Amino acid sequence: MRKLISEDEVVRLPTALEWEYCCRAGTKSSYSFGDNTGKVLDEHAWHTGNAAGNDPAVGVLKPNPWGLYDVHGYLWEFVSDAGDGNKSARIIRGGSWRDPHSLLSSASYLTLPDHAASDAIGFRCIIASKPEAKKPADQ
C-alpha cells in the first residue's frame, strides 16, 4: 500500500501566518476574490446571508486562486498558534456559515479557550517537511 506521507514529512495544523498566506493566495484584498462583499461573496463563501441556517455542503462554492475551497466561511479553522500568548487559548480563522461577511475576511480571527467546541469550528491539516534535528554545535 502506498504511503500518503513520506518519512521526512509530518501532518500538522498550519500556523496563523501559513493559514492566512494560503487563504489570500497571493492577493492583498480583504478576501481572496477581492474586496466586494456583494454577489461575488455568495459564490465563494458560506455565511449567514446564504447558508439559510443550515450546515452547507463542502467544496461546492468557488475555490480561491490557489484552488483551496471554503477558506472564507463554512467553518472556522483551528491553527497551531496559542491565542494572545495564552497557552490555554486557541486561534481560529476564516469565519463560518453562522457568521456575517465581516468575520470572513482573510485577516479575521477569534481567540477561544482551548476547551471550546462548536459545529461551526473545524480544522485543515497541512503536510510539511519534518524540521531538521538540531545538531550539537561544533567545538
Q: Residue 109: is its pLDDT beyond 60?
A: yes
Residue 103: per-residue pLDDT: 95
CA distance 97 to 101: 9
CATH classification at residue 58? 3.90.1580.10
Domain assignment present for 86: yes
Domain assignment present for 59: yes
Residue 2: per-residue pLDDT: 61
Strands 121-123, 109-113: pairing is unpaired
CB 104 within 8 A of CB 95: yes
Which of 91, 86, 71 lies closest to 25 in space, CA to CA?
Answer: 71
Domain assignment present for 137: no
Q: Which residue has the higher pLDDT, 124 or 116?
A: 124
Average pLDDT over residues 57-68: 94
pLDDT in tens, 84-99: 777 789 999 999 999 9
Domain assignment present for 136: no
Which of 78, 70, 63, 74 lies closest to 109 in space, CA to CA?
Answer: 78
Query: Domain span at residue 55?
Result: 9-129
How many domains, the chain? Answer: 1
User: Of the given ranges (30-34, 37-41, 68-72, 98-102), which has the lowest mean pLDDT?
Assistant: 37-41
